[in-house]
Structure 1
């Protein structure tokens, strides 16, 4: 037994120096690896500050992979957390969720950083907010608040309250939202974070405006504007001008409202010009904060690692046997790591192939959308233009009624085209809700009149019940309610034959400043099964393949309805029995206005046009489509302007060289040389003449290319006639054709 004990002690004595040396070598290697990871993350932070998101993502990925190779969970959690915030910043929600879930999993382990866990919960909440999963976002924010209240990082707590306030505002709980934004401002002040102070004040001003607390809203927005201007936060300053314009409008200060909405448009235009790299620009002001946050995280992880290493060194002397076993474990881990690296390389190869395929698909999609946008907008220009001309030619009352309906349907169809082509914009909650005074009953009657023929062809009867106690005029977005009703009523008519469709609008309650209304659309048609009701509001979804073949349609209507009602703070309810019919219902809150007469449409102030100054001005219209030529020419000549036409770019260049024109309206897509090439050639010999792009291409699509070619402005087709003449008036005035 004693011999065995001696052998055991000799073994321990032999192992002890080896273990200590091995541990020191391992710690030294770990320090070198940690410094390399920290260096990669620090350089990544600087790349973010310089808006180089691609380089930053590559550096963070290398840091994460290095941490994974060395099984360094602290650094792995740090790198994954940073990557998640970067992906969220650049709009890659799926990648952001994947990296953040990994970071949370690591931070939930014992002895991990609670501060980092709190940050990860904030990121998780932001991801859920991107998907409008407000309930899940609230749960993550509650967890983050509980953790961060005990940690001296007030800027993180400010972000929690800012997100909670945004959720409360979305649910129309403006009082709660105001309280939360006050808490965010308080924490941002404690942190000395001026960006968060300004951002919180802007959101506070918006909820104060909704509560009609005009004086307090004005104070909050002035504070935000002062900070944003002095600290150079252009995006926040732009947003503050949008809010301050609405405040000035509430105060009947129309000149100030106009001035600030123009400033907002100027900033918006400047921001569009920055979209050269395809990077999300909306969060560019947060780059410096991202940098500072990441540096703090790196330093915190260094301190935590240092403490852990010190503790490990003390324990290592007393646990030589354990360390010996760890040496064997490390050997096995190296083998596993080698195999893992081989698998990772194979996966990386697959990911590169998938990435290339995705980029090609994205390019094809972009080309398709560009082409289909032009092809759809071009005939829509003919519809809206001819309708305008016919309305100006003294039609009979019966003809005027039909033309008004045609005009309404054209406007709706254009809006529907825009929503289908850019459904991501609608789902990302980037569509702005207008606040315009309009006659709700008349708006609904226009929808029913437009759908009347379809209903009659199917043998259906449309019944309209409108509560007489509802105010004649409300303040809201007339186009949105038209889109919602034309989809719901249109669906009811489509899926009903020889039946009836009831449209009911009832008042729930009314105060001095707002009215709460309940809408119902009920039919006696096909009905929807319980199983299909669960996903009927998803994109491209219909009741069944048989229904799709029988009735047609894209399956986008109810998805658009759901998204529009989300924007209005409402939710659509469905009651349906298969074979007996369906009932869709929802509630909308409208503000009430006391404006009358000319005050009912304050936006008319935008169209400040001197039509007399436009008379006898010579305009060259460059357009290959004969119908569009005729429409544009007649609209100009009805306003006593002299019009000449060029069928293509070559003719336009020669006419501009040999004749004198006051202004040129140039189409973009034409046979031969394009409108852009023609403009570039004209600019070689005439740099002064105003040239406006009159095109079906969307404004955001190629705006930089247009301005580089020499265009003065862009008029997207189809357009409102007032906007058309406003652009012409501005172009002539800027060229000093008249004062």
Structure 2
């Protein structure tokens, strides 16, 4: 029998019993209070029928005597029972009745409890967070008036949960901090569980991993001292889950699996208890059927009494009318059931179609990502050879006319830039970009951008002017690489579309909120400008506007990448432009200023320790051209270099010779670079291994480091970057 039918029967019993109890003798108030205690105990034992019947008996007596306190308490207890039976609408009705009668009394403790119960229902079951918070605040006001410290503490914890559920962590942490000292010194285990769980949630949201771990672990520790199912089911199980997720993010899969297993074991245990609760509901149904038969018997006896007083025609007519109404109700119910069934079938079909469409979209997205990754790798491999050989030829032919070689090198780097742009925008679209936290000086970063783009500026006879607000702190914390990408794209764009003019780059301190300093950047030129009709198009992929007689080189991806990168900083880019007068791009980014964190970041940066000793390098590479280029670059730096074609030869070579560092390709015949590294490590060889690959670092980082590699260099690379990493790894080994 469905739960709704059980609820209907309980209500029928409720009103019938009120009528019956009104005829019984009066019960003393003290006994009624004890009956309410019994009703609450029945509720905790999952004996819902006894709890509801006892509460209803108290309500009938309280209504008869006009005792508003008992009426409010009985209605509140009925509301609790109905909530446990998942009849939330009727539960809120009884809660409101309870509050109405409680307001007629001076019992503030009762008012506080009922307001809390209503808040709980709106927050947990009806998901009306604003209403729930309103009732919690009423409960808190009452608790403060009567000076009930425990009630204040519990209500503030409830308010914290509600605000966190709204994602308003600032609003929630205010209440949590207010009550923390009381809970630490005088709180029970349940409040300590909630407090630590909520702190864990807060720290986890703001990525304060260590604090979050400590808080969740405290919640679990306090959970050992409580038998309250609500806290174990909610806070403790969720604490295990969040601990598992945090360790997974940290790469500690052993602990992640441990806490996931603990969470699942605890969840299974309480699922068994939930099944027991359902079994109790079925038992309630059977008892209600007995009550129903008794009620029908009483009604039948009363009907016989009425028949003796009324004429047979009236009785028959009344019976016939009731029968017709019953048939109409059955017919309406039948139609509703068929309508719901038809609607459910349609919804199931729509959901199935949506699921298929979602799976196809995800498959297409995965194929796109794999395609871009493969094309990127396959283009980077020959580009490494082209750029490397071009550099070799330029070195060998210094002093000669190398215009053709320079053109070749420029074209190769241009193609590499296109590949990088496509890969970059694909990563951003797939939400695979995570902002770094590095310390940097804004003036130095702008100088680097200016120096890198001086060639373009000279070519178009432009001047670059930089203006930095002196109020900006010297050391900022943020992703300076993404900021440089944004500035390089915008400034190079301004230089390309400006001739015999100037490009002004300014940055000013706009606002300071706690440790966050909001910097406003402006890139202004007096070039050709952008037409009003084109201004909405410039951020689209592969779109270039303003090309007429002159060809402004580019892929049409620069501004699209800029907009997406600025979006990662939770900001927006703004444009103001007029034809033949110039263009101004403006955006604001918040960077953190914290001297302690800055020092920690600086101390954690790997310092390149150069050495005068000869370093012996083993290159594992299957591509002949790449072998030549890599060996030439290494030997040019006076290092010794041996080259092998595949992983098996590398393993064999290491059995007889010792090297300072190994440069390992990833895609090789026979066995991959990852498998080669694993076999080398199994032999106990600790020589540093650096992946030298055409893959982008982020694509292979996880597998590379798990296989035993020490670092990754993506081809094509700047030789100085390679030697910095080699020297750093050698220094670590010999330190």
**So what's the TM-score if we normalise by structure 2?**
0.54
Q: Which residue of 2 aligns with 1:644?
A: 642
Aligned equivalents of 2:328, 2:212: Cα separation in 1: 64
Given candidates 27, 39, 48, the residue that maps to 2:5 is: 27
Aligned equivalents of 1:237, 1:388: Cα separation in 2: 51
Q: Is the 8 A contact 1:165 1:180 kept in 2?
A: no
Deviation at 1:150, TM superposition (A): 6.9
The verdict on how the C-alpha distance between 1:29 and 1:268 changes in structure 2, with shifts beyond 3 A counting, is same
Q: Which residue of 1 aligns with 2:177?
A: 182
Q: Secondary structure at the residue paired with 1:670?
A: coil
Q: Which residue of 1 aligns with 2:218?
A: 227
The verdict on how the C-alpha distance between 1:454 and 1:203 changes in structure 2, with shifts beyond 3 A counting, is same
Q: Is the 8 A contact 1:157 1:184 kept in 2?
A: no
Structural mapping, 1:344-493, within 5 Å: 344=347, 346-347=349-350, 350-351=353-354, 353-355=356-358, 357-375=360-378, 378=381, 419-424=424-429, 431-438=434-441, 440-457=442-459, 459=460, 461-467=462-468, 469=470, 473-477=474-478, 478-493=480-495
Structural mapping, 1:626-637, within 5 Å: 628-629=626-627, 632-633=630-631
Q: Is the 8 A contact 2:7 2:87 kept in 1?
A: no
Q: Is the 8 A contact 2:465 2:505 kept in 1?
A: yes
- Which segments of 5 or more consecutive residues in structure 2 lack a partner in the other structure? 10-84, 90-117, 140-153, 184-189, 223-235, 300-317, 399-405
The verdict on how the C-alpha distance between 1:225 and 1:494 changes in structure 2, with shifts beyond 3 A counting, is farther
Q: Is the 8 A contact 1:437 1:593 kept in 2?
A: no
Q: Which residue of 2 aligns with 1:158?
A: 160
| CA RMSD in angstroms, aligned pairs only | 6.5
The verdict on how the C-alpha distance between 1:489 and 1:116 changes in structure 2, with shifts beyond 3 A counting, is farther
Structural mapping, 1:98-117, within 5 Å: none
Deviation at 1:447, TM superposition (A): 1.8
Aligned equivalents of 2:542, 2:325: Cα separation in 1: 60
Aligned equivalents of 1:25, 1:446: Cα separation in 2: 70
Deviation at 1:674, TM superposition (A): 3.3
The verdict on how the C-alpha distance between 1:374 and 1:484 changes in structure 2, with shifts beyond 3 A counting, is same
Listed one character per residue, the Cα deviations across residues 683-702 of structure 1 (whole Å, up to 9, x for unaligned) are 89x45464554334356646
Q: Secondary structure at the residue paired with 1:606?
A: coil
Deviation at 1:352, TM superposition (A): 5.8
Deviation at 1:645, TM superposition (A): 0.6
Aligned equivalents of 1:665, 1:571: Cα separation in 2: 42
Q: Which residue of 2 aligns with 1:69?
A: none
Given candidates 711, 714, 719, the residue that maps to 1:717 is: 714
Q: Is the 8 A contact 1:668 1:693 kept in 2?
A: yes
Q: Which residue of 2 aligns with 1:675?
A: 673
Given candidates 145, 148, 154, the residue that maps to 2:133 is: 145
Structural mapping, 1:243-642, within 5 Å: 268-270=250-252, 323-337=326-340, 339-340=342-343, 343-344=346-347, 346-347=349-350, 350-351=353-354, 353-355=356-358, 357-375=360-378, 378=381, 419-424=424-429, 431-438=434-441, 440-457=442-459, 459=460, 461-467=462-468, 469=470, 473-477=474-478, 478-496=480-498, 500-506=502-508, 517-525=519-527, 527-528=529-530, 540=541, 542=543, 556-565=557-566, 568=569, 570-577=571-578, 580-588=581-589, 602-603=602-603, 606-607=606-607, 611=611, 615=613, 618-625=616-623, 628-629=626-627, 632-633=630-631, 642=640
The verdict on how the C-alpha distance between 1:160 and 1:516 changes in structure 2, with shifts beyond 3 A counting, is same
- Which segments of 5 or more consecutive residues in structure 1 lack a partner in the other structure? 1-22, 32-73, 79-112, 123-139, 169-175, 207-216, 241-263, 276-280, 396-401
Deviation at 1:436, TM superposition (A): 0.9
Q: Which residue of 1 aligns with 2:50?
A: none
Q: Which residue of 1 aligns with 2:403?
A: none
Listed one character per residue, the Cα deviations across residues 129-186 of structure 1 (whole Å, up to 9, x for unaligned) are xxxxxxxxxxx96566346657989777434434667676xxxxxxx78637636979
Q: Is the 8 A contact 1:495 1:551 kept in 2?
A: yes
Aligned equivalents of 1:533, 1:144: Cα separation in 2: 46
Aligned equivalents of 2:642, 2:517: Cα separation in 1: 52
Q: Is the 8 A contact 2:194 2:219 kept in 1?
A: no
**So what's the TM-score if we normalise by structure 1?**
0.54
Deviation at 1:560, TM superposition (A): 4.2
Listed one character per residue, the Cα deviations across residues 47-77 of structure 1 (whole Å, up to 9, x for unaligned) are xxxxxxxxxxxxxxxxxxxxxxxxxxx9899
Listed one character per residue, the Cα deviations across residues 183-229 of structure 1 (whole Å, up to 9, x for unaligned) are 697999476263332232566896xxxxxxxxxx99x7896486389
Q: Which residue of 2 aligns with 1:133?
A: none
Q: Which residue of 2 aligns with 1:197?
A: 199
More contact order relative to length (CA 8 Å, sep ≥ 6): 1
The verdict on how the C-alpha distance between 1:579 and 1:330 changes in structure 2, with shifts beyond 3 A counting, is farther
Aligned residues between the structures = 547
Deviation at 1:703, TM superposition (A): 6.4
Aligned equivalents of 2:701, 2:656: Cα separation in 1: 29
Q: Is the 8 A contact 1:699 1:716 kept in 2?
A: yes
Deviation at 1:647, TM superposition (A): 2.8
Q: Is the 8 A contact 2:119 2:134 kept in 1?
A: no
Aligned equivalents of 2:323, 2:544: Cα separation in 1: 69
Aligned equivalents of 2:648, 2:6: Cα separation in 1: 73
Aligned equivalents of 1:353, 1:601: Cα separation in 2: 47
